[in-house]
């Protein structure tokens, strides 16, 4: 059984691109970019904002945390001439030695930087807040205290907008769409072999409010699939879909349906994917969720590939068991 | 001279100010509820020289009816000059179990559309001085 997320009251999880964080509930996820190697996230509320940047350094790249911090201070001072540096010092983040600084202008703020030797990444954090935000220091300390910059078990957690699930750390986030009432995440791993390409994917989506968007079908996943989701899935996984039938199961305590199917496309160069699509309605969040776990192979038809066709059942079971929808 | 007259900047609100606004329906608009409980707004179509001419030859509609969905109706009913935007956001969260961010964004977009069409106005509370923008982000910084 996968470890459930630890809940801190008044805080919500934001687990993304290999790190885990707990942030105040009024902080909204506003900007994100990049991947596990190099990326950026920004969270903001009415009275504060928090930015986190990471970059994989590798063993060859020479750098020092002190110079990184100095560069950040210089950049802040260039953009705001009234900025005063109040204090610099050292601290610790998730067992790593870190440097921090405290600054003041019309806003107040803290910056911090550290090197994570496990992930070989430099992390930069910048927290700015309005002077009247009394809880600022507490919020920042709790947030930074909860930060885990590397995973302990080669699995990454993806937790955002009230849901979470885990995938192996080799799965990269290839696609993300954040729309009002609809989120899509596609995580996959591709392996090249002689004459064929193997792909394993977790494709996650939700829609809300489900009882308004799908008034007639939201409580019946099978009907919902037939009337709406089948078309969406066929647009994504082009080719002829052979459905093998629905079976019932429970996901996070909710009655769910799973459809196993095979999609084939192409004549000489063939793409075959074996999919299991899990669908359920969560009344606590009024959302319909769909998680498709796919094992695909792209190869020349005459090339034998039985070795690469096996579905990673254990991995897929772990992903499904890790899903938390409310 | 008119060509040199500067355009008056449009009034913008900070997020805090926006949440304190009280939207109110245009009192000249007619609306009612359909059998299924959805709000239907009736607009009288303007008579122009062109439409007057064509109306003599063909039957032309005199009014346009715009039907709102369940969530649109929920918001429309609360545009009464008494509910603040913040209260409507909380209402959406409670009624439809939407996340705060989703409710705020969808409500903001919907109110903007209603306002552009002249369906609603807003009662503005006391406006505070706008503060300077926060320091720039780490996003473009190279380590």
Nearest-angstrom CA–CA distance, A178 and A118: 30
Contacts of A107 in chain B (CB under 8 A): 134-135
What pLDDT is recorded for position A289?
97
Q: Could B135 and A128 be called an inter-chain contact, meaning their C-beta atoms sit closer than 8 Å?
A: yes
Residue A227: count of CB within 10 angstroms of its CB: 13
Half-sphere exposure of A325 (CA within 13 A, CB side): 29
How far is residue B136's CA from residue B45's CA, in Å, rounded to a whole number?
A: 49
> A11-151 and A157-321 share one CATH topology?
yes
Cβ-contact B31, B39 below 8 angstroms: yes
Looking at domain A157-321, its CATH architecture is: 3-Layer(aba) Sandwich (3.40)
Every domain of chain A and the residues it spans: 11-151, 157-321
Contacts of A104 (CB under 8 A, 6+ apart): A83, A84, A86
CATH number of the structural domain A11-151: 3.40.1000.10
Nearest to B98 among A52, A106, A209 (CB): A209
Burial class (CB in 10 A: 0-12, 13-18, 19+), A318: middle
Average pLDDT over every residue of A62-88 = 91
- Mean pLDDT confidence for A209-226: 95
Kindly identify which residue of chain B lies nearest to residue A125, measuring between CA atoms: B138
Q: Poorest-confidence range of A34-48, A177-191, B32-46?
A: B32-46
Looking at domain B12-123, which of 3.90.930.60, 3.30.365.10, 3.40.50.620, 3.90.1150.10 is its CATH number? 3.90.930.60
ipTM score: 0.79
Closest chain A residue to B143, measured at CA: A68
More confident residue, B139 or A28: A28
3-class DSSP assignment, residue A165: strand
Closest by CA to A149, choosing from A19, A42, A288, A15, is A19
Say if CB A251 and CB A325 are below 8 A apart. yes
The pLDDT assigned to A1 comes to 39
Extract the runs of DSSP E, i.e. beta strands, from chain B: 22-25, 30-33, 39-44, 63-67, 120-123
Which residues are paired to A56 by β-bridges? A121
Element containing residue A234 per DSSP (H, E): helix A230-236
Residues of A with CB below 8 A from B94's CB?
A: none
- If residue A70 lies in a helix (H) or strand (E), which one and from where to where? helix A65-79
Going from the C-alpha of B124 to that of each of A101, A310, B18, B116, the distances in angstroms are 40, 63, 9, 17
Helix (H, G, I), strand (E, B) or coil at B109: helix
Instruction: Give the mean pLDDT of B90-118.
Output: 93
Q: Residue A3: pLDDT above 60?
A: no
Of B77, B82, B84, B47, which Cα lies nearest the Cα of B62?
B47
Cβ-contact A260, A275 below 8 angstroms = yes
Rounded to whole angstroms, the Cα distance separating B110 from B105 reads: 9
CB contact under 8 A, A208 and B102: yes
User: At B125, is the secondary structure helix, strand, or coil?
Assistant: coil
Q: Do A212 and B101 touch (CB under 8 A)?
A: no
Confidence of residue A148 (pLDDT cuts 50, 70, 90): very high
Q: Per residue in A292-304, pLDDT tens?
A: 999 999 887 776 6
Beta bridge partners of A85: A103
Percentage of the residues of chain A whose pLDDT score is greater than 90: 75
Closest to A30 measured CA to CA, from A21, A17, A43, A40:
A43
Residue of A132, A180, A286, A289 to mutate, testing the B interface (most B Cβ within 10 Å of its Cβ): A180
Q: Helix B70-77 crosses helix B85-96 at what angle (to 10 degrees)?
A: 140
Look at residue A60 in the predicted model and tell me its pLDDT.
64
Q: What are B37-89's pLDDT values in tens digits? A: 999 999 887 777 666 676 677 777 778 899 999 999 999 999 999 999 999 99
Question: By the 8 A CB rule, do B53 and B74 touch?
Answer: no
Mean pLDDT of A81-108: 93
| Average pLDDT, integer, range B14-26 | 90
Over residues A134-138, mean pLDDT: 87
Cβ-Cβ contacts under 8 Å for A292 (sequence gap 6 or more): A201, A202, A203, A233, A275, A276, A277, A278
pLDDT at A12 over 50: yes
Sheet of A163-168, strand order: A19-24, A11-16, A155-160, A163-168
How many whole angstroms separate alpha carbon A42 and alpha carbon A53?
A: 9
Distance, CA of A32 to CA of A39 (rounded, Å): 7
In angstroms, what separates the C-alpha of A233 from chain B's closest C-alpha?
Answer: 25
Place of tokens 């997320």: A5
Bridge-based pairing of strands A121-129 and A48-56 is antiparallel
**Whole-number pLDDT of residue B107:** 95
Domains of chain B, by residue range, sit at 12-123
The pTM for the full model equals: 0.86
Question: Given this model, what pLDDT does residue B67 score?
Answer: 92
Cβ-defined contact of A53 to B100 (cutoff 8 Å): no
Instruction: Return the DSSP state at A43.
Output: E
Give the A:B interface size as CB pairs under 8 Å.
86
């Amino acid at each position: 059984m996968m470890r459930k997320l630890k809940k801190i009251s008044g805080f919500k999880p934001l687990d993304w691109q290999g790190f885990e964080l707990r942030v105040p509930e009024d902080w909204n996820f506003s900007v994100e970019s990049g991947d596990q190697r190099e990326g950026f996230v920004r969270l903001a509320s009415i009275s504060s904002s928090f930015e986190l940047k990471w970059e994989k350094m590798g063993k060859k790249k020479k750098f020092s945390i002190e110079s990184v911090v100095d560069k950040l201070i210089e950049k802040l001072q260039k953009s705001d001439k009234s900025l005063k540096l109040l204090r610099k010092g050292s601290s610790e983040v998730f067992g790593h030695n870190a440097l921090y600084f405290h600054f003041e202008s019309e806003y107040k703020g803290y910056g911090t930087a550290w090197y994570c030797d496990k992930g070989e990444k430099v992390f930069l954090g910048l927290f700015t807040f309005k002077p009247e935000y009394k809880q600022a220091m507490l919020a920042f300390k709790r947030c930074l205290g909860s930060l885990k910059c590397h995973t302990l078990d080669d699995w990454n957690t993806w937790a955002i907008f009230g849901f979470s699930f885990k995938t192996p750390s080799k799965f990269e986030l290839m696609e993300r769409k954040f729309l009002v009432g609809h989120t899509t995440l596609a995580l996959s791993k591709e392996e090249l072999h002689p004459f064929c390409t193997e792909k394993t994917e977790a494709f996650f989506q939700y829609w809300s409010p489900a009882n308004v968007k799908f008034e007639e079908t939201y409580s019946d996943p099978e009907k919902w699939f037939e009337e709406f989701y089948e078309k969406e899935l066929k647009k994504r996984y082009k080719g002829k879909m052979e459905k093998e039938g629905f079976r019932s199961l429970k996901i996070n305590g909710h009655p769910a349906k799973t459809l196993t199917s095979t999609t084939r496309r192409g004549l000489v160069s063939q793409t075959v994917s074996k999919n299991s699509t899990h669908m359920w309605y969560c009344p606590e969040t009024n959302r319909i969720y769909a998680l498709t776990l796919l094992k695909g192979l792209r190869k020349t038809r005459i090339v034998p590939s039985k070795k690469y066709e096996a579905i990673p059942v254990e991995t897929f079971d772990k992903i499904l068991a890790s899903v938390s929808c409310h | 001279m008119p060509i040199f007259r500067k355009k008056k900047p449009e009034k913008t609100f900070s997020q805090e100010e926006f949440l304190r606004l009280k939207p109110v329906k245009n009192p000249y608009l007619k609306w009612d509820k359909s059998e299924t409980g959805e709000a239907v707004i009736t607009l009288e179509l303007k008579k122009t020289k062109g439409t007057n001419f064509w109306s003599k030859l063909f039957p032309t509609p005199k009014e346009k009816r715009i039907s709102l969905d369940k969530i649109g109706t929920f918001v429309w009913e609360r545009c009464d000059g008494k509910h603040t935007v913040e209260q409507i956001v909380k209402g959406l969260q409670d009624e439809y179990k939407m996340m705060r961010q989703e409710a705020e964004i969808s409500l903001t977009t919907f109110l903007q559309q209603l306002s552009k069409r002249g369906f609603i106005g807003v009662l503005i509370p006391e406006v505070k001085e706008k503060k300077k923008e926060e320091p720039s982000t780490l996003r473009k910084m190279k380590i």
